[in-house]
Structure 1
Amino acid sequence: MNANSSHLHEGSGTGHAGHPHGGDAEHGTHGHHAHMVADFRKRFWISLILTLPILALSPGLWDMLGLAAPLAFRGDAYVLFAFSSIVFFYGGWPFLKGFGEELRKHQPGMMTLIAVAISAAYFYSSAVTFGLSGMGFYWELATLIDIMLLGHWIEMKSVMGASGALEALVRLLPAEAHRLSPDGATEDVPVNDLQTGDRVLVKPGERVPTDGVIISGQTILDESMLTGESKPVEKGEGAEVIGGSVNGEGAVTLEIRKTGDETYLAQVMDMVRRAQESRSRSQDLANRAAVWLTAIALSGGSLTFIVWLGLGRDLEFAIERAVTVMVIACPHALGLAVPLVVAVSTSLSASHGLLIRDRAAFERARNLQAVVFDKTGTLTEGRFGVSDSIPLGDLDESACLRLAAALESQSEHPIAKGILHAAEARGIVLPAASEFRNLTGRGAEAKVEGHDIKVVSPGYLHAEGLSANDPRLEKLAGQGKTLVFLLVDGAVAAAFGLADVVRPESRAAVASLKGMGIQCMMLTGDSQAVAKTVAQELGLDDYFAEVLPEQKAEKVKEVQSRGLTVAMVGDGVNDAPALTQSDLGVAIGAGTDVAIESADVVLVRNDPRDVAAILGLARATYRKMVQNLLWATGYNAFAIPLAAGVAASWGLLLTPAMGAVLMSLSTVIVAINARLLGRSGVTAESSPPGK
């Protein structure tokens, strides 16, 4: 990697050292890059001010314009030399220093080209000042340095801006917290002093100081900056909260569970930093191209110099052509092409709760052909829900659900919760239930509004000699759904079909992925009937049922044997082997537990639509990389011959300063193109794989 891309790449990281509470390493690294930006800004302005008298004292510039120099006096050449020397040594110092570092590393690159170009211009002009025949071009030297300093200043600001979302994460945590002592008193302490087990008070409008659990109070939390979830989340006693989230209108007391490196925010920042620093194939391609371009520029500059001298042109003209070739051929934009896109895409994904752990795997995501989802907890909510209500007597559906839910309000069974949730979703007001009693293994009973109400299993009906005849019941059983029956005063009144609730987002996720040309499949330990029902409901291309956890990796391998590039999406726990086997492992719904080593990408929200979003971002990122690489290399391929003077017979000659302008323009275009990645947002795209 050339020197420019190295320092830019370093700048793209957060500098996080594992501690989100203002660690020295984090702030030290950030301060170092801020100092570099300030240094380039200072050198640019001072050099620009000194350039004004240089321009006024340069006879070559005014001769070219057909005007008389505004400043001409005895000894003006030495004054011009003095000002130019300051600009060369002060303004050009970062490039001269970088040249030395590249030589020590035996990696000539952009700094080498700039240093050679400005040194050739300066020492040739100095020789003219002290007696060599010719025309110096101090003004070109000064403007070249000015433009290079300005370009570096803009680039470094762009790179630091690319990590703006991560720097915002640093500022999410408050400096102090209200710690509660055993006697109930409150003391304000630095967040760094909090320990696991401490209790803290979070007042309305304040930020949560670190990860913990609510032990008293209820509130609404804004976690949008952390998880990308725009909708505020209501939380009460026993709920986990993330450090950095914004408390709503209710005061809550937390018990600290995680501090320092263990916190969600610390892990997110460390994950993002490592992702930004990880190398990818595109990055390696850019680095190799930069080395070749460096060699081409140096040899091209030398050849240009020799050819023009051989054609009888004077030394000044030959040097000017050689200098222009070396300036315009700098792999400046090329060094920025990939690292800046990496910084922007990683920050963009992090701000939306899409955490990239492995850049190379993320880059491969653009070529995915199949996505295999774990069912429970990924495509479904992992809880029972009422999918069908079938009245079998005189009562209508709402009345049956009302009575069943009144009974089940006294139970903690998953089926009971499913029926109760269905009634709540419809806004049904429940009557009181009394004399509740469990019927072990068969159901439950209670008195509701003077009636004997039971919710029982099919086995209870069979044992009691009761029957429920309806063709719809056989269909539900064939779909693998759980059936329970409502009895009112001993008579069968209704049947309820319950199943693991399919997430509404799953349908949109599958539709988006299929629109991108990606096959969607499912793994589940459930029966064939259940798997088939879910697969048909979502429109999946294939499914695997009755799969044990240890068999999931084999199923992923089976899909890969079809010649498909596969992503596995699961919860990161019993799916770990399958996540590792896949070409892209995606852990979904990680919540506060983001330390999932088996996944390449961690999706904070439990929303399968984010799978399509991360694949869409991977494709958009790759396109930006390709666009930047094509622009940078194509620009140089066009500009180098022009700088060498192939169009001189048509009167078209590029001065070193104009070469610097065009080169900086190329760099700015690359930077803007990378920044435009954020304009499109993190959305799935319907382009074919690999495009």
Structure 2
Amino acid sequence: MSETLTIRIGEMTCAGCAGRAERALNAVPGIGGATVNFATRTASVDPGTAQPPALAEALAQAGYPAEQSQADLMVSGLTCASCVGRAEAALRAVPGVLEAHVNLATRQARITYLAGVTDATHLASALTAAGYPAEPVSGETEPDIDRHDAEITQTKRAALIAAALTLPVFVIEMGGHVFPAFHAAIHQTVGMTASWAFQFVLITLVLLWPGRVFFQKGLPALLRGAPEMNSLVALGTLSAWGYSCVALFAPGLLPAGAAAVYFEAAGVIVTLILVGRWMEARARGRTGAAIEHLIGLQPDTVRVLRGDTIQSVPLASVVVGDVIETRPGERIAVDGEVIEGESHVDESMITGEPMPVAKAPGVQVIGGTTNSAGVLRIRAGAVGQATVLARIVEMVQQAQGAKLPIQAVADRVVRVFVPIVMGIAVVTVLVWLAFGPSPSLSHALVAGVSVLIIACPCAMGLATPTSIMVGTGRAAELGVLFRRGEALERLAEVKTVAFDKTGTLTLGQPRVVDVALAPGHDREEVLRHAAAIEAQSEHPLARAIETAAESLTLPRATQVKAHAGTGITADIEGRAVIIGNRGMMTKHGIDTDVLDAEITAMAAKGQTLVFVSIAGQIAAAIGISDTVKPTSARAIAAMHRAGLHTVMITGDSADAAGVIARELGIDDVIAEVLPEGKRDAIRALRAKHGPVAFVGDGINDAPALAEADIGIAVGTGTDIAIEAADVVLISGDLVGAVTARHVSERTMANIRQNLFWAFAYNAALIPVAAGVLYPVSGLLLSPMLAAGAMAMSSVFVVSNALRLRRLRRPIESEVTA
């Protein structure tokens, strides 16, 4: 009987909800039975043969989603892509687990599970029992640098010990092959048997000491029927060592002429693979350099105003409301507001923008940025995990832990790779024994061991995650955050980019530039009434009208009602006042013909028109303009050079939108649309042009950001827009969208290079190791060369990924070239 699961269920409001949730669960094929308790908001489930994801899907479709939790584990013992597959399988076998992803590059596992069914400690125990020691990751953002340093030190020590023990054996054997006189001298002095015995002692030490890791992990995996890379190395080295022991201690068991030792092959194989792991560990350390650099932006101690004195305290002790003093050249410790002093702050480490930003009282600052000149006193507004820097680090780490769709191909190959290689090795030995020249047993051993050793699933496992780590880290340094790792792959496929206008293509700081008055109305009256209502609106245009009327005394507005995407109505001093676009006027039967000439002239200038009606009559048309961002035209031009189709989607009038589009060179304009209209426009563009990216910043952009294949949020926009997006441009500069796509294209190209190398390497060299070239060349690949090639394949993949650290903004490159 399967274990009973207790699942927490959300959004149940009555006993009827519990009944519907229970019926949904019991309808899942294979389920043993389920009962839902409305009082405790839980379900007791006998899953039978049903899997947790099916149970969660059934509840979600019924409208009562199961509560989910997420755990991150640090995992050791991962040495190849096969290990990743075994670890993921062990985690998914834990009751309640919905998803499990193990990252070979970061040595971390991310598990999504049904809340209350299991926990991080239980998951870590399950993974440890499977042979991969694990422990939960703490909530701190600081990476476990000590753990990585320890890994480098450990692999270095093992490689050096193996090299020291193997070197004398290598010199004896290979020196004898290169210099026949050297071989004769050894034979005449110590004797061949003594020489072989000396080699036996040293290489046995190599296998039992630095090389024991291959046997500790590889042999148990082999016995469990789940062989991995360590199993291949263990079999190969044991075969060479065992054959040599027979030749040394019982040569009569071997055919005539077949008594030869391969101790040096076993030792060199272990040494080269350990050296490769050492080099790989060092290279992998650099893949996380961007995260370590971001975290290092925060100072360890800060000066805080306590009473009338400044005290130096640890950063961790700072709380919201503390006043922090930052001197020239120092890094700002937390997010907050300047309350005293003026300076310029270098925000390039956060936003990627090189120009220092002026700061004065009332202006916000970001933790991790550098104070260039002048002393600033800052009131802390966000500390710890709530700071912008901490959120950036969290976003990058989540993206780095993602498994892209392109990796699915490698995963499918890796699942069967090691068993196939072992089968090829067996066939190779049999063929050599049956058809090989004398001594066929020696040739069969060499070829079989070479096949086992040269095969490398590690490169396949590292191909994708290392590129993701470096690519997303470098993107963060350039001011682009990939909130979801899948966006890194999908953005490169986009052929159409759509933009919101206000706050995205423009600065989002509109101002009133013209007021066309109807007969019987004056400017002050119109602005007073309009500003009184707009004070209760969050729209950017409302701020422009408020600013224009800031010197006026505003009346009290009552019965205020917003009409999404069209306008707002209210009562002021006993009169009905309506503010909105032309459609709003038409809806309420307001005739605007009296202002047609003025409206046409204002629209021709690209002004956004806001109509004001008082007591059922048109009172005025207010013309509002926004300034185009200085870099928007360059960004659009760069997208055109990349072959992208550009579209503006805005709620503004067609005339105003057309002026901006012509100025920037945007291909198409979709104007006068409501928020849901933007979503529909995205769908229409996708049907016509394929995958679509949408760039926006406002609350009304959230539906379009969520609908688009890739949603790109301007970081200076609203939190709702940022949460709905896949990519965030920290600085708010549209050039960041060009940078994001450039990083996506280069990273995907890098991943394809790595995967090609990993597959091509194995496809080409396994047959060579088996001896296909022997009939035409008379050469048989040495197991030592096979070990060297295998070790370097992983180093090549990681080193290729590290090239992404040199990525630059594509527009910067063009300007400076």
Name the TM-score, length of structure 1 as normaliser: 0.80
Counterparts of 1:68-79 in structure 2, within 5 Å, are 68-69=182-183, 73=190, 75-79=194-198
User: How far, CA to CA, are the matches of 2:656 and 2:781 in structure 1?
Assistant: 72
1:295 to 394, 419, 433: 419
1:289 shift after superposition: 2.3
1:158 to 270, 274, 283: 283
1:137 aligns with 2:268: no
2:751 to 625, 632, 635: 625
In structure 2, what is the equivalent of residue 117 of structure 1?
A: 236
1:178 shift after superposition: 1.0
In structure 2, what is the equivalent of residue 238 of structure 1?
A: 362
Change (3 A) 1:333 1:387: farther
In structure 2, what is the equivalent of residue 427 of structure 1?
A: none
1:148 aligns with 2:148: no
User: How far, CA to CA, are the matches of 1:107 and 1:578 in structure 2?
Assistant: 46
Change (3 A) 1:567 1:145: same
1:41 to 153, 156, 171: 156
In structure 2, what is the equivalent of residue 281 of structure 1?
A: 405
Query: Cα deviation per residue 1:153-180 (whole Å; 9 max; x = unaligned)?
Result: 1112111101111111121111111111
Letter in 2 for 1:29: D
User: How far, CA to CA, are the matches of 2:216 and 2:796 in structure 1?
Assistant: 27
Query: Cα deviation per residue 1:306-336 (whole Å; 9 max; x = unaligned)?
Result: 1101125432221111000111122232222
Change (3 A) 1:103 1:226: farther
Change (3 A) 1:15 1:89: same
Report if aligned partners of 1:211, 1:258 keep a CA contact under 8 Å in 2: yes
2:392 to 268, 279, 282: 268
SS of alignment partner, residue 646 of structure 1: coil
Report if aligned partners of 1:47, 1:142 keep a CA contact under 8 Å in 2: yes
Change (3 A) 1:2 1:374: same
Report if aligned partners of 2:699, 2:718 keep a CA contact under 8 Å in 1: no
1:584 aligns with 2:584: no
In structure 1, what is the equivalent of residue 484 of structure 2?
A: 358
Counterparts of 1:527-542 in structure 2, within 5 Å, are 527-542=653-668
CA RMSD of aligned residues (A): 3.4
In structure 2, what is the equivalent of residue 180 of structure 1?
A: 305
1:560 aligns with 2:686: yes
User: How far, CA to CA, are the matches of 2:806 and 2:604 in structure 1?
Assistant: 48
Structure 2 runs not aligned, ≥5 long: 1-76, 85-101, 111-136, 515-541, 556-596, 611-621
1:4 to 80, 86, 100: 80
1:194 to 310, 314, 318: 318
Structure 1 runs not aligned, ≥5 long: 17-21, 389-411, 419-435, 442-470, 485-495, 687-691
User: How far, CA to CA, are the matches of 1:474 and 1:513 in structure 2?
Assistant: 32
In structure 2, what is the equivalent of residue 683 of structure 1?
A: 810
1:474 shift after superposition: 5.7
Query: Cα deviation per residue 1:395-449 (whole Å; 9 max; x = unaligned)?
Result: xxxxxxxxxxxxxxxxx9848989xxxxxxxxxxxxxxxxx975999xxxxxxxx
In structure 2, what is the equivalent of residue 321 of structure 1?
A: 447
1:111 shift after superposition: 2.3
In structure 2, what is the equivalent of residue 674 of structure 1?
A: 801
Change (3 A) 1:131 1:106: closer
Letter in 1 for 2:421: A
SS of alignment partner, residue 312 of structure 2: strand
Letter in 1 for 2:798: A
Letter in 1 for 2:802: R
1:53 aligns with 2:168: yes
1:473 shift after superposition: 9.9
User: How far, CA to CA, are the matches of 2:262 and 2:405 in structure 1?
Assistant: 42
Letter in 1 for 2:265: E
Letter in 2 for 1:87: V
User: How far, CA to CA, are the matches of 1:683 and 1:387 in structure 2?
Assistant: 36
Report if aligned partners of 1:203, 1:252 keep a CA contact under 8 Å in 2: yes
Change (3 A) 1:546 1:594: closer
In structure 2, what is the equivalent of residue 430 of structure 1?
A: none
User: How far, CA to CA, are the matches of 2:428 and 2:238 in structure 1?
Assistant: 17
2:510 to 384, 387, 392: 384
Letter in 2 for 1:62: G
SS of alignment partner, residue 319 of structure 2: coil
Q: State, as a whole percentage, how many aligned pairs show the same letter.
A: 34
Change (3 A) 1:65 1:26: farther
In structure 1, what is the equivalent of residue 32 of structure 2?
A: none
1:104 shift after superposition: 8.2
User: How far, CA to CA, are the matches of 2:379 and 2:78 in structure 1?
Assistant: 49
2:434 to 286, 304, 310: 310
User: How far, CA to CA, are the matches of 2:405 and 2:169 in structure 1?
Assistant: 46
Report if aligned partners of 1:2, 1:107 keep a CA contact under 8 Å in 2: no
* Aligned length in residues: 601
User: How far, CA to CA, are the matches of 1:167 and 1:178 in structure 2?
Assistant: 24
1:523 shift after superposition: 1.7
Report if aligned partners of 1:206, 1:247 keep a CA contact under 8 Å in 2: yes
Change (3 A) 1:584 1:634: same
User: How far, CA to CA, are the matches of 1:231 and 1:571 in structure 2?
Assistant: 22
1:229 aligns with 2:353: yes
In structure 1, what is the equivalent of residue 780 of structure 2?
A: 653
Query: Cα deviation per residue 1:468-505 (whole Å; 9 max; x = unaligned)?
Result: xxx99965443442799xxxxxxxxxxx9862111121
1:128 to 239, 247, 260: 247
SS of alignment partner, residue 255 of structure 1: strand
User: How far, CA to CA, are the matches of 1:65 and 1:194 in structure 2?
Assistant: 71
Query: Cα deviation per residue 1:616-642 (whole Å; 9 max; x = unaligned)?
Result: 211111111111211221122111111
Query: Cα deviation per residue 1:25-82 (whole Å; 9 max; x = unaligned)?
Result: 5557332222111111111111111122222443x76146534246552633322111
Report if aligned partners of 1:2, 1:287 keep a CA contact under 8 Å in 2: no
1:537 shift after superposition: 1.4
User: How far, CA to CA, are the matches of 2:700 and 2:644 in structure 1?
Assistant: 25
Letter in 1 for 2:668: D
Report if aligned partners of 2:219, 2:234 keep a CA contact under 8 Å in 1: no
1:381 shift after superposition: 0.5
1:508 aligns with 2:645: no
Change (3 A) 1:518 1:613: same
Counterparts of 1:88-103 in structure 2, within 5 Å, are 88-100=207-219, 102-103=221-222
2:651 to 525, 531, 550: 525
1:347 shift after superposition: 1.2
1:198 shift after superposition: 1.3
User: How far, CA to CA, are the matches of 2:147 and 2:543 in structure 1?
Assistant: 58
Letter in 2 for 1:46: I
Report if aligned partners of 1:594, 1:604 keep a CA contact under 8 Å in 2: no
User: How far, CA to CA, are the matches of 1:178 and 1:293 in structure 2?
Assistant: 57
Report if aligned partners of 1:353, 1:604 keep a CA contact under 8 Å in 2: yes
Name the TM-score, length of structure 2 as normaliser: 0.68
In structure 2, what is the equivalent of residue 662 of structure 1?
A: 789
1:112 shift after superposition: 2.3
In structure 1, what is the equivalent of residue 568 of structure 2?
A: none
Change (3 A) 1:169 1:105: farther
Report if aligned partners of 1:355, 1:603 keep a CA contact under 8 Å in 2: yes
Q: Which has the higher contact order (CA 8 A, sep 6+)?
A: 1
User: How far, CA to CA, are the matches of 1:15 and 1:255 in structure 2?
Assistant: 38
In structure 2, what is the equivalent of residue 30 of structure 1?
A: 145
Change (3 A) 1:27 1:479: closer
Change (3 A) 1:14 1:346: farther
SS of alignment partner, residue 688 of structure 2: coil
1:607 shift after superposition: 0.8
SS of alignment partner, residue 647 of structure 2: strand
1:171 aligns with 2:288: no
2:500 to 374, 383, 386: 374
